[in-house]
Amino acid sequence: MDVLVFSENPHLAAELLSAGAGLAAASGGRAYSVEADSVRQGTHGNALLLRSEVPLLGDPALLAEAISAARKTKVAPVVLIGSTKTGRMVAGGLAVLDQLCVLSDVRDLRVDGGRLTGTRGVYAGKFNALVGGPLPSIALIPQGSYEPFSEPSGPVEEVRVTTGPPKVSREELRSSAKSSLDLRGAKVIVAAGRGLKAKEDLAIVQRLADALGGVIGASRPLSSDLGWLGEEYHIGLTGVYVHPDLYVAVGISGQIQHVAGIRDSKVIVAINRDKQAPIFQVSDYGVVGDLYEVVPALLRALGRP
């Protein structure tokens, strides 16, 4: 059984390839990394290069059409797609085109008796559900679920595909090149929330992150509503899911949508002035206090005043 994997995020694509190779190996098949327009640098394993008259990358609707067209020549009962916003759009389009089930945000993937199964969080991650669908199926997989595939690049098979014309004209407003941040791979994250009084105060959060050897993140109010930090810093149900060794929530109350994104952290620390804040219920260590006193005290204790 062959498996196709796709993610516009190269780190995630490498993880999907591991998941795909595992599923394919059990049945003597192969996993192919789907590349669009051109093969990315540092690609691992076998690649299936899709080329069309029009550029595919960046247009989820066209990517869906291209993968659908490729599946006519490369029979692949399982398609793994990275759980990103682009991934969801590609998976949704492909599911309708090819009449496929979609298991979203699943881990522990298995193929068993003609079915693809996995587990996923529901109700903002409070519960885990066992989900399954008949083959052929698509699974959307979050980053950090599998170790990246590390074998060198294999052969590239090129497939010419025909897609419709693009229906949406697109323009990048803020370049991804400017932001090398990848919270999903970070080992230490210090995240700021509404407890912060001003944008300038992000500096002390950044200093704590530096002292702990980590990066900063944010809850939704800061990255979206207030716009103090870019969208890529937004941790939570509708932002990125993180799984660091240490997660420090500074002035974050712990709304369920935020907590959904941090559940896989090894150790969670909360600093909040409100003892009743829900964040303390999901933390290993909590400090009740004004972050403007606690964070400087932590920096002093760490020898980084």
Partner 1 sequence: MNIAVCVKHAVDEGELRADTSGRPQLQGALSKMGSFDRNAVEEAIRLKESNGGSVTVVCLGGADSKKTLKEALAMGCDKALAVASARALDALATSYYLSRALKKAGPFDVVLLAEGASDTYHGLVGPMLARWLGLPFLGFARKVEVNGSKVRTEAALEDRAESYETVLPAVISVVSEVNTPRYPTLLQIMQAAKKPMEEVTVESLTDEGAPKFGVTVGDVVVQSVDRKKLVFEGPAEETSRKLIDALRKEGLL
Residues 176-235 that bind partner 1 (CB under 8 A): 176, 179, 181, 188, 212, 220, 224-225, 231-232
Nearest C-alpha neighbor of 139 from the set 54, 81, 203, 52: 81
In terms of CB distance, is 39 or 124 closer to partner 1? 124
**How far apart are CB 41 and partner 1 at their closest, in Å?**
18
Map the footprint of partner 1 across residues 60-89, applying CB under 8 A. 60-61, 64, 84-86, 88-89
What is the smallest separation between the CB atom of 166 and partner 1, expressed in angstroms? Answer: 9
269 lies in the binding site for partner 1 (CB under 8 A)? yes
**Applying CB under 8 A, does 288 fall inside the site for partner 1?**
yes
Give dist(CA 215, CA 131) in Å, integer: 34
Residue of the chain from 25, 26, 75, 129 that contacts partner 1 (CB under 8 A): 129
Q: Are 229 and 244 in contact (CB under 8 A)?
A: no
Per-residue x/- mask for partner 1, residues 233 to 262, rule CB under 8 A?
Answer: ----xxxx----xx---------xx-----
User: CA-CA distance, 284 to 271, in Å (whole number)?
Assistant: 11
Instruction: Collapse the DSSP code of 29 into the 3-class scheme (helix H, G, I; strand E, B; otherwise coil) and give the result.
Output: coil
Q: Specify burial of residue 21 (Cβ count, 10 A radius: 0-12, 13-18, 19+).
A: buried
Look at residue 11 and give its three-state secondary structure: helix
Stretch that binds partner 1, among 18-26, 47-55, 118-126, 197-205 (CB under 8 A): 118-126
Shortest gap between Cβ of 34 and partner 1 (angstroms)?
17
- The CB-of-299 to partner 1 minimum distance in angstroms stands at 9
- If binding is defined by CB under 8 A, does position 46 make contact with partner 1? no
Question: Residue 231 and residue 250: Cα distance in Å, rounded?
Answer: 18
Length of the chain: 305
Helix (H) or strand (E) holding 64: helix 60-73
Residue 133 or 154: the one with the smaller Cβ distance to partner 1 is: 133
**Reading across the β-sheet that carries 153-160, which strands appear in turn?**
101-103, 137-141, 78-82, 3-6, 31-36, 45-51, 153-160
Per-residue CA distances from 95 to 37, 61, 102, 138 (Å): 22, 11, 7, 7
Which of 20, 29, 45, 92 touches partner 1 by CB under 8 A? 92
Of 42, 302, 304, 305, the one binding partner 1 by CB under 8 A: 302
Query: Measured from the CB of residue 252, what is the shortest distance to partner 1 in angstroms?
Result: 15
304 scored as a contact of partner 1 (CB under 8 A): no
**Structure-derived torsion over alpha carbons of residues 249, 88, 80, 112, reported in degrees to the nearest 10:** 90
Choices 22-30, 47-55, 146-154, 291-299; region in contact with partner 1 by CB under 8 A: 291-299
Comparison of 45 and 82: residue with beta carbon closer to partner 1: 82
274 binds partner 1 (CB under 8 A): no
Please check whether residue 138 is in contact with residue 167, taking contact to mean a CB–CB distance below 8 angstroms: no
Per CB under 8 A, the list member of 32, 146, 149, 280 interacting with partner 1 is 280
Burial of 146 (0-12, 13-18, 19+ CB in 10 A): buried
Burial bucket for residue 227 (CB in 10 Å: 0-12, 13-18, 19+)? exposed
String of contacts with partner 1 for each residue 140-159, x by CB under 8 A: --------------------
Binding range to partner 1, per CB under 8 A, among 37-45, 153-161, 163-171, 198-206: 163-171
**Per rule CB under 8 A, count of chain residues that contact partner 1:** 87
